[in-house]
Structure 1
């Protein structure tokens, strides 16, 4: 097959930076062993097309879209939240047109697009016989205006979700498209058996991910302020930079009041807000690593004793699975796709989102019980290897692509919309 992956405009693909880009890279480089694979990404000054790990990279100009965005984005502020500018066909329109034109010249069998549904009709218009696969790493298909989404989904030959948490609500909202929906999770690298951690009297807690309100750092800090007076051996390592997602991408379009409450952290630096919550003891025992290369994160997993992930929502959440693959026990919120990766009492512990006392108690329970930490970590590694290896994920992904490529072009069915929806 000849396969194209179309990346989000404005995101780095070589080397990959964000979670979607990392997932694309890991699947694409494995597919490139058997297929011709191209990844489209945004051009930067001086950036030329390249080939890496068997993948051909095509870089498309994107600068003019930023200028258009400054004109059209303010006009969308008067529109409902579920019709925001980020979902508008005007958002990055020139990028999509250039990509669609290049796809027509290259003649791909299958084109993969992540999250941004406005790309589908543009690519379809210039490539009527192409097979289009939409891959959702977020909940936008059930959060955005139904009519808007339905019109675009008619162009998709397959719709992937990274967890059943994503896929099943799509099937329910768009039953006419249920047979096009599939669940293919994100994956992780399964490395060698982790070496025993040296006992030096400390217990290192690790969190990997963007520093952003929905990740629950404020809950973690409040919990550790309770833990440290009686457990001074605890240390905290945070891998990730402050990168707060725009409020309209998630918090502003959520119907969940707990998530909407996160609006209180917008308006000033979230990093500074959580630092203000730190006790002196916690500040002395916390290391902010910042943003590092994905491959460098492995050494922090190897040096940790416990992984903590008090997120408010997750489509799947790769870091907890990476932690499991590294043999770490996980304390996580039971949200979204985390319910499908972490197994309560077997590979980790669940604590309800926002529950400071519950999180403190769970941390203490595992800090005080190294044997239980080891048992949870071993079970987690076995589960990660069985269900979430990149090789296994790629095989599932490849099956969906090959099925879409062989099947007759799906008709752009009309998706019924209730009269009450506008």
Structure 2
């Protein structure tokens, strides 16, 4: 089969979340099929793709992005600017014929991408929901306007919410996986040997709960927080650090390539991801595979694989006191921390990208 994957950041070296999911799926599918990814040319191609048999086609969208920002007076969300500028730049550079010649089927993972591309090309398209954020008033409009043959979700929780909240029935679920060997082989010396290192990896938005970690360590001088990622909430987090007088103990490292993210996770004394809302949270799996004790939230989606006191410690969203107690518990009980690490490794080994790619193939065959 000739399979295409379209996403504005699918080829990027420093992206996380959906982009990593699509990179891993692409690399696995390319072992048995012809796979082409279509992406913007903003960054160097990720090693996961460069070292695989995946064909990467990128389009320079920089000029178009600036024009759209001027036309909309920067009122459009950045991700929509990204999506529209890639599509328009791609169309001007022959993307339609590229997709036709390279693909029997096309996978998309962002609603605006799906609407635009599924109506551009005359081949079957499959749209996958990757985030709860896109389930809103516009979801029904997207479903009506999209020309995709199938709709799938990356977790059962998304599928359930689509059914109950907007009455959209998906055609199946394909969950994320984790590259256990990759994350278990990281360097363990990238963080300074000062105090107890806590690592957070993810987008810096309010719903990720980083502010709760900052509050949790405010009265615990032994803890040093390392934040990997970027986002619109970063300045707010810096202000909270200043207010709580912990700025010297909190380091913002910015966005990093996957190999560096792995090293930070492997070097952490504790990984903390106290999100308020998640569909799955691949960072949790990556922390487990990296061999670091994990603190995360007791969301229904996370509890599908997270067992309190077995492979992690679970806290309520928005509860800095529980985070503080969990940090102390792990720090003061090395044997208990080791038990959590062992439990996390066992859990992460159960989810391979190979099996997830096989599930994707089943859906592809259904629409060919």
Counterparts of 1:18-417 in structure 2, within 5 Å, are 18-43=16-41, 53-70=52-69, 72-74=71-73, 91-92=84-85, 94-95=88-89, 97=91, 101-103=96-98, 105-106=100-101, 108-115=103-110, 117-128=111-122, 130-153=123-146, 155-173=147-165, 175=167, 178=169, 180-191=170-181, 203-228=196-221, 232=222, 234-240=223-229, 242-244=230-232, 269-279=235-245, 282-335=246-299, 337-386=301-350, 388-405=351-368
Corresponding residue number in structure 2 for 1:6: 6
- The answer to whether the 8 A contact 2:7-2:113 is kept is no
Corresponding residue number in structure 2 for 1:414: none
User: Per-residue CA shift, 1:126-149, capped at 9, x if unaligned?
Assistant: 433x22111222124421325422
In structure 2, C-alpha distance between the alignment counterparts of 1:289 and 1:46, rounded to whole Å: 19
- The answer to whether the 8 A contact 1:194-1:327 is kept is no
In structure 1, C-alpha distance between the alignment counterparts of 2:78 and 2:199, rounded to whole Å: 36
In structure 1, C-alpha distance between the alignment counterparts of 2:278 and 2:210, rounded to whole Å: 14
In structure 1, C-alpha distance between the alignment counterparts of 2:247 and 2:195, rounded to whole Å: 16
In structure 2, C-alpha distance between the alignment counterparts of 1:304 and 1:86, rounded to whole Å: 31
Deviation at 1:60, TM superposition (A): 2.2
Give the SS at the match of 2:72. Answer: helix
In structure 1, C-alpha distance between the alignment counterparts of 2:12 and 2:57, rounded to whole Å: 11
**Bigger Rg, which one:** 1
Task: Note the residue ranges of structure 2 that are not aligned, 5 or more in a row.
Answer: none
In structure 2, C-alpha distance between the alignment counterparts of 1:403 and 1:145, rounded to whole Å: 27
Give the SS at the match of 1:394. Answer: helix
In the superposition, relative to structure 1, how do residues 142 and 239 fare at CA in structure 2: closer, same or farther (>3 Å)?
A: closer
In structure 2, C-alpha distance between the alignment counterparts of 1:303 and 1:354, rounded to whole Å: 26
In the superposition, relative to structure 1, how do residues 73 and 336 fare at CA in structure 2: closer, same or farther (>3 Å)?
A: farther
User: Per-residue CA shift, 1:185-209, capped at 9, x if unaligned?
Assistant: 22221028679x99x9954322222
Give the SS at the match of 1:314. Answer: coil
In structure 2, C-alpha distance between the alignment counterparts of 1:145 and 1:300, rounded to whole Å: 37
Deviation at 1:107, TM superposition (A): 5.4
Give the SS at the match of 1:183. Answer: coil
Corresponding residue number in structure 2 for 1:17: 15
In the superposition, relative to structure 1, how do residues 104 and 40 fare at CA in structure 2: closer, same or farther (>3 Å)?
A: closer
In structure 2, C-alpha distance between the alignment counterparts of 1:227 and 1:46, rounded to whole Å: 40
- The answer to whether the 8 A contact 1:313-1:336 is kept is no
Corresponding residue number in structure 2 for 1:248: none
In structure 2, C-alpha distance between the alignment counterparts of 1:299 and 1:141, rounded to whole Å: 31
User: Per-residue CA shift, 1:274-299, capped at 9, x if unaligned?
Assistant: 331343xx444444433322112222
Report the TM-score when normalising by structure 1.
0.74
In structure 1, C-alpha distance between the alignment counterparts of 2:149 and 2:238, rounded to whole Å: 45
In structure 2, C-alpha distance between the alignment counterparts of 1:67 and 1:26, rounded to whole Å: 31
In structure 2, C-alpha distance between the alignment counterparts of 1:236 and 1:140, rounded to whole Å: 27
Report the TM-score when normalising by structure 2.
0.83
- The answer to whether the 8 A contact 1:171-1:181 is kept is no
In the superposition, relative to structure 1, how do residues 373 and 201 fare at CA in structure 2: closer, same or farther (>3 Å)?
A: farther
- The answer to whether the 8 A contact 2:10-2:37 is kept is no
Give the SS at the match of 1:133. Answer: strand
In structure 1, C-alpha distance between the alignment counterparts of 2:318 and 2:43, rounded to whole Å: 43
- The answer to whether the 8 A contact 1:222-1:277 is kept is no
In structure 1, C-alpha distance between the alignment counterparts of 2:312 and 2:44, rounded to whole Å: 46
In structure 2, C-alpha distance between the alignment counterparts of 1:322 and 1:169, rounded to whole Å: 26
- The answer to whether the 8 A contact 2:12-2:43 is kept is no
TM-align CA RMSD: 3.4
Corresponding residue number in structure 2 for 1:249: none
In structure 2, C-alpha distance between the alignment counterparts of 1:95 and 1:173, rounded to whole Å: 35
